[in-house]
């Protein structure tokens, strides 16, 4: 079955430990709903840098990566449907980029 990467962009950091725990519960519930199709839940990432041939941009550019997951799905459409349940989308401050992982 093909694999897809979910690249998370944006979102917001919880303001309190309690809010963080509630947010984590949403993410874990979403992951559990995907079952075995979630092959690597991934992780959030720190502040990135964008490297080009001429310079290094601080803070990841205009749409920095905030985390990733890897899933399996029969089709790209199915992967996109899975991504639609992602908690990062709920507050309108984040997006999920879905891309097939090419076999080499």
The helix/strand/coil state of 73 is coil
Which pLDDT belongs to residue 59?
79
Q: Is 22 exposed, middle or buried (0-12, 13-18, 19+ CB in 10 A)?
A: exposed
The 10s digit of each residue's pLDDT in 19-64 is: 999 999 999 999 999 999 999 999 999 888 888 899 998 877 778 8
In the chain, the largest separation of any two C-alpha atoms, in whole Å, equals 44
User: For residue 11, what pLDDT band results from cuts at 50, 70 and 90?
Assistant: confident
Which pLDDT belongs to residue 60?
77
Mean pLDDT (the chain, rounded): 94
User: For residue 4, what pLDDT band results from cuts at 50, 70 and 90?
Assistant: very high
CB atoms under 10 Å from CB of 96, counted, come to 23
Total-model pTM: 0.90
d(CA 97, CA 27): 17
**95 φ, ψ (degrees, to nearest 5):** -135, 160
Which pLDDT belongs to residue 94?
93
d(CA 64, CA 80): 20
Write down all domains in the chain, each with its CATH number in brackets.
3-100 (3.30.70.1060)
């Amino acid at each position: 079955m093909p694999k897809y990467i979910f690249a998370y962009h944006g979102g917001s950091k919880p303001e309190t430990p309690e809010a963080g725990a509630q947010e984590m519960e949403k993410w874990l519930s979403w992951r559990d709903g995907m079952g075995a199709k979630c092959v690597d839940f991934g992780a959030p990432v720190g502040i990135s840098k964008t490297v080009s041939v001429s310079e290094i941009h601080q803070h990841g550019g205009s749409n920095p990566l905030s985390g990733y997951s890897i899933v399996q799905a029969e089709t790209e459409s199915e992967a996109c449907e899975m991504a639609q349940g992602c908690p990062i989308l709920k507050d309108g401050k984040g997006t999920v980029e879905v891309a097939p992982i090419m076999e080499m």
